[in-house]
Structure 1
Amino acid sequence: MEQVFNQLLPFLSALWWPFCRILAMLTAAPVLGDLMVPVTVRVLVALVLAIVMLPLTRGLVGPIDPFSLHALVATVEQAVIGGVLGLAFHFSMSVIGVLGYLVSSQMGFSMAVMNDPINGTSSDVVSALLSILSIIVFFTIDGHLVIAGVIGASFHAWPLGQGYGPLLLQAVAYNVSWIFAAAMLLAIPIVFSTMVVQLGFGFLNRVAPSLNLFSLGFSMITLFGLVMLVEIIRFVPEHYIGMTNRVLEMLQQQMRAAGHG
């Protein structure tokens, strides 16, 4: 029995740390890391990917005693790298969520709240609609395969036990502001159109207060918002792909910097 354990220990050691990085990335990644995906499915996918990538990662895993403090530090290191990579991919999905919130607040749909099984919270109908659209686009562009490719490339850029450097964390942290800028860029047409309608009804109500035009203001703002949403929603997939490409470019720059370092 001891001989069998000694033969399995190197295999399990070579499998454990890639599994930790892949599981952390899948947990933080969009769609695959949502609450609608069971934890058992996520763990099974991470285990399968770790086994598939064994020829890629076997030579990159150094001799580490699995029952030492070094092994614990290496496990935390892999979890941090995977979590940061998954968080970077989550930026594109977060932009769609912020866009839905901005649009709903301007159109008056923020009062129509529904339970969101994806995030386990309540969200408005516009955000739910845009989230479903972004999930469809995610699988249309083979986002799950892109994530698997990034995982494999990350083992060459940040091998086990050699750290991850501060550049990766800084690049992801600095790009948080990009979420709000990209969401606001998409929401500007709806925000501007609803503001124009509100100003117009304000002037008309000032000129003829007896007509009580504010009673029509809510329905007109909703109507204009829906028209602008129809015009904008067809550009959302293109912007989502562009944002995903930007995330990939950022990760490639970090991997090249880690490789040269």
Structure 2
Amino acid sequence: MELEFAQLVALLSALWWPFCRVMAMLSAAPMIGEAMVPISARVLLSLALAVVLMPISQATALTVDPWSMAGVLAAAEQALLGFVLGLAFHLAMAVITVLGFLLSSQLGLSMAVMNDPMNGSSSDVITSLLSMLCMLVFFTVDGHLLFVQVLGSSFKVWPVGAGIAGLNMDTVAYNLAWVFSAALLLALPVIFSTLVVQMGLGLLNRVAPSLNLFSLGFSLVTLFGLFMLSQILAHVPAHYLRMTQQVLDMIDRGLKSGAGHV
């Protein structure tokens, strides 16, 4: 049975709306949206997820002509919704990135950088180590399935063509302060311990000025900081899971507030 042109256009338009939202979310989401994932693989994954989510999106979607100005605005709305959801998931990974930068700066390792294929730029070794650790934890707890679950719920709260009246975009902006505070709290043990070592070396330098503590102190601070890093490294996955749960709670509140406007 051959499909008529009108049926083919309706099928493609039904696939287009979830594809825009999924593609925007995967482009802003952690791990999957990094530069190490090719754009072609991201597009194919978005297309597969769009086919899976097409029945959910069509169950609540309003009738929108994809070739009209309303269709262009609806596509922009889907891209904005997906980008905000992906950015919310990116907050937890941003905490780990800021934490790695703080630790590297405190230990004196920020002078040595390496090529980061995930972000397409150079980063320090500690940030890359913590990022790889959190990536393993994310996929271990089936974090990629949370993406699909959140996307399916978003189509029920913000249907295609219904607008974004219930989208609280300021919530994501306000949580940027939480990123810096959480990273600072995680880095405080290393920062305080290295400060104590530097103060002790300063007092020792006043007692014995003949000692060359400038070159010796750098090595001692780095070694003691690496020891403290090994102590807190075992607790980073648990903190990352709690931060991810906080992001999910934030998205859940956003979905509930959005449902009140539908």
TM-score by length of 1: 0.97
The DSSP-based 3-state class of the residue aligned with 1:30 is: coil
Counterpart AA for 2:225: G
Unaligned runs of 5+ in 2: none
Residue 53 of structure 1, CA deviation: 1.3
- Matched-pair contact (CA < 8 Å) for 1:202–1:214: no
Residue 214 of structure 1, CA deviation: 2.4
CA RMSD of aligned residues (A): 1.2
Unaligned runs of 5+ in 1: none
Q: Which residue number corresponds to residue 25 of structure 1?
A: 25
Q: 1:19 to 1:70 in 2, by over 3 A?
A: same
TM-superposition CA deviations, 1:130-156 (whole Å, max 9, x none): 111111111011110011100000001
Give the structure with the higher percent helix. Answer: 1
- Matched-pair contact (CA < 8 Å) for 2:20–2:78: yes
TM-superposition CA deviations, 1:96-139 (whole Å, max 9, x none): 10000000001011111100011000011111111111111110
Q: Which residue number corresponds to residue 106 of structure 2?
A: 106
Residue 166 of structure 1, CA deviation: 6.1
- Matched-pair contact (CA < 8 Å) for 1:201–1:214: no
TM-superposition CA deviations, 1:220-239 (whole Å, max 9, x none): 00111001000111111000
TM-score by length of 2: 0.97
Runs of 4+ in 1 over 3 A off after TM superposition: none
Q: Which residue number corresponds to residue 137 of structure 1?
A: 137
Q: Which residue number corresponds to residue 221 of structure 1?
A: 221
Residue 211 of structure 1, CA deviation: 1.6
Q: 1:3 to 1:89 in 2, by over 3 A?
A: closer
Paired-residue identity, %: 56
Q: Which residue number corresponds to residue 96 of structure 1?
A: 96
Alpha-carbon separation, structure 2, partners of 1:249 and 1:29: 17
Q: Which residue number corresponds to residue 177 of structure 2?
A: 177
Q: Which residue number corresponds to residue 80 of structure 2?
A: 80
Q: Which residue number corresponds to residue 234 of structure 1?
A: 234
The DSSP-based 3-state class of the residue aligned with 2:163 is: coil
TM-superposition CA deviations, 1:26-51 (whole Å, max 9, x none): 00000000011011111111111111
Aligned residues between the structures: 260
Alpha-carbon separation, structure 2, partners of 1:244 and 1:188: 21
- Matched-pair contact (CA < 8 Å) for 1:201–1:213: yes
- Matched-pair contact (CA < 8 Å) for 2:20–2:75: yes
State which drifts further: 236-245 or 154-163: 154-163
The DSSP-based 3-state class of the residue aligned with 2:138 is: helix
State which drifts further: 173-182 or 48-57: 48-57
- Matched-pair contact (CA < 8 Å) for 1:205–1:214: no
